Amino acid sequence: MKLNINIKKKLADQWFNFLQSEIVNACQSIERKSGSKAVFKKKIWSKLKVSEGGGTSMILKNGKIFEKVGVNKSTVSGSFKKKFRPQIKGAVKSKGAYWASGVSFVAHMLNPKVPAIHFNTRFIVTADHWFGGGIDATPAINDKKEEKLIHGLLKQVCTNNKKNYKKLKKYCDEYFFLPHRNERRGIGGIFFDYEDKNWEKDFKFVREVGLVLINILETVINRKAKSKWNKNDKLQQLYKRGRYVEFNLLYDRGTKFGLNSGGNIDSIFMSLPPQAKWN
């Protein structure tokens, strides 16, 4: 059966609602187990034109594990400005009309030995429609074993779904790169966009990428959240976070998309670290 686009939108939107609550519950439980009383705060926002949708951002700050963790879900529609259309597939043909739904996630950890984790998955509709997303990790302090673990989990999801892990890994490395410093943002992960071969299979892949995030979070946190760290480790993390800010403001397509689609500033900038340093 070929699903029509309205059903696809509905299914994607419902999945992203569910995924957001799964991720929030997992993070809240991790935080609670650490003995912390920090809780998620919910913010609901809508676009200026309420008929064009909005989203819910869930943010927990100053935890014992998460210095800041945010889980956003939004479903928005509208029309892109003429100038921005050529940058988005199918948006010239749709005369700027778009619909988009997705979940994005960023965790900046208190312990500088635990990597920052970024994730998002989305379904975008213009004259075309496709899934995009990915997971990547940004450690301040390298750990080869951790790198292997994370990439192992991601490879498994790709293999299960007949997706080309090597290609998605390469795409991630190319995307999370700071040309002005000739530096990778972190240790990569997987990244994909314009997945539109087989909607059912792509959707299944997107769901599994969402669920493996929770697995990855638990893995990296269980391994090292109790590791000792000193002032120098923290400094190293704060400088690394400076690079994170540079990437997000200079290059990130998600930031550009948000700013160009009348998104909520607090949600777009949720990915920014709570604090950062520059030399």
The footprint of its own copies (CB under 8 A) covers 180-181, 238, 242, 245-246, 249-250, 259, 265-266, 268-269, 272-279
- The kind and range of the H/E element at 168 are helix 165-175
Nearer to its own copies, 117 or 216 (CB): 117
CA distance 262 to 260: 6
Shortest spacing between CB 202 and its own copies, in angstroms: 32
Distances (CA, A) of 63 to 19, 222, 276: 22, 15, 17
Nearer to its own copies, 55 or 273 (CB): 273
The answer to whether 129 is a known catalytic residue is no
Side-chain half-sphere exposure of 227, counting CA atoms within 13 A: 19
Side-chain half-sphere exposure of 218, counting CA atoms within 13 A: 13
3-state DSSP assignment of residue 120? strand
18-30 as b/e: b if 16+ CB within 10 A: ebbebbbebbbeb
Count, residues in the chain: 279
Nearer to its own copies, 140 or 209 (CB): 140
Shortest spacing between CB 272 and its own copies, in angstroms: 4
Shortest spacing between CB 223 and its own copies, in angstroms: 27
Nearer to its own copies, 183 or 200 (CB): 183
Shortest spacing between CB 135 and its own copies, in angstroms: 22
3-state DSSP assignment of residue 97? strand
CA distance 134 to 154: 10
Structural contact between residues 277 and 238, judged by C-beta atoms closer than 8 angstroms? yes
Set 118, 129, 151, 180: catalytic member:
118
Shortest spacing between CB 181 and its own copies, in angstroms: 6
3-state DSSP assignment of residue 125? strand
3-state DSSP assignment of residue 272? coil
Nearer to its own copies, 126 or 248 (CB): 248
Nearer to its own copies, 159 or 275 (CB): 275
Identify the CA nearest to 105 among candidates 115, 118, 116: 118
- Please identify every residue annotated as catalytic: 118
